[in-house]
Amino acid sequence: MRELNDAAAADGVYFQYRGYFSQPMIEQSIGQLGMRAQADKLDSAAHRRLINAFIEVSQNIVHYSCDALTEAAAKDDEIRFGSIEICEAGGAFLINSSNPVGEDDARRLNERLTALVELDQAALKAQYHQALNAESEPQSKGGGIGFLRLARGSSAKLQFSFVDVPVDPEIKIFNLTVTVQKP
Amino acid sequence: MTDILIPATYSTPLVDFRFSEHRLALRGEAYPENALAFFSPLTEALAAYLARGATAPILMSFQLRYMNSASIKMIFQLVKMLEQVSEAGRGVSVEFENDPDDEMAGDFAEDLADAFPTLALRLAPAV
């Protein structure tokens, strides 16, 4: 993934932010990405795919990063740490997001994503429909459909990794890459 | 039953629930930080309205652009409630006004059509 990211960076960084994420920051970034798209005359379907993926990954950071300025139980006005880099490479946007997570969350996410990347589009759709109808999982703030939706919208399989943090063995850095095809 | 009119924000849609006219509309963006907090009062109001058991046909229209997954789930619940009264015999139509190039909102409409095959859903290009 590192090689892919380096190649993408060489091709052009489209958007980059590292720091504390909040709902107002996400809203402003969407406005900013809209201006960029307008200036570049980006195809509007591609722009919308990009923004929908951006919303999902950036709100994941606000909801689940374990580095929070706000209380762990907060559900509103949360501020949590992470990074998002959007690169243009090979006719697609690569949306790379990273945030720290606790060990238990890392294990849960790893299980969920490992199973999910094995699914083809038909199976993703079936699971998505099932999840839409199901009651939400207690720890989920996205109704349990966030990753399914990202996987359905990604033109390549979701890529993910968990990287150890030398100074804190109880924390992993969760990296996720979503690919959004330009036309 | 009081009508609900809530202006749109950057991340929440205009809510125009005219129970008095049996016309309900959501227009704009739907990616609030806490979708449950935003949509729960709407779900409750809709439930109360439907429980009154009027017979006039209901029109629900959506013109949504960006959505987060939690909002999709809440909107799905709203449509499910409408489907239930429709199954019970009340006239219900659901309209999606989408830009033709907005495939994700189009996908959402398709997902709803798959989930609620008996409900009258109509895709209309936005004007």
Which three-class secondary structure state does DSSP give residue B61? strand
Mean pLDDT, range B50-55, rounded to an integer: 92
ipTM of the complex: 0.90
Mean pLDDT, range B34-46, rounded to an integer: 96
Interface check A2 vs B, CB under 8 A: no
Buried b (16+ CB within 10 A) or exposed e, B3-24: ebeeeeebbbbebbbebeebbb
- Partner B, chain A 143-182, Cβ-Cβ below 8 Å: 143-146, 149, 152-153
Contact B73 A145 (CB under 8 A): yes
The reported pLDDT for the residue numbered A87 is: 94
Q: Mutate which of A22, A30, A32, A59 to test chain B, going by most B C-beta atoms within 10 A?
A: A59
Neighbours of B113 (CB within 10 A): 15
What whole-number distance in Å separates Cα of residue A17 and Cα of residue A21? 9
Contact A132 B76 (CB under 8 A): yes
End-to-end CA distance of chain A: 24
Largest CA distance in chain B: 39
- C-alpha distances (whole Å) from B35 to each of A76, B38, B42, B49 are 10, 5, 11, 21
Judging contacts by C-beta atoms under 8 Å, the chain A residues touching residue B37 are 75-76
Contact A48 B31 (CB under 8 A): no
Judging contacts by C-beta atoms under 8 Å, the chain B residues touching residue A30 are 10, 66
Number of helices followed by number of strands (H, E) in chain A: 6, 5
Quickly list H helices, A117-175.
121-133, 146-153
Q: Which residues of chain A have pLDDT under 70?
A: 1-11, 136-143
The pTM for the full model equals 0.90
The reported pLDDT for the residue numbered A76 is: 85
Interface check A141 vs B, CB under 8 A: yes
Q: How confident is the model at residue B122 (pLDDT cuts 50, 70, 90)?
A: confident
CB contact at 8 A, A92 and A179: yes
Contact B33 A23 (CB under 8 A): yes
What whole-number distance in Å separates Cα of residue A19 and Cα of residue A172? 17
What contacts B38, CB < 8 A, 6 or more positions away? B12, B32, B71, B74
The reported pLDDT for the residue numbered B44 is: 97
The reported pLDDT for the residue numbered B37 is: 95
Characterize the bridge pairing of strands B58-67 and B92-98.
Answer: parallel
The reported pLDDT for the residue numbered B36 is: 93
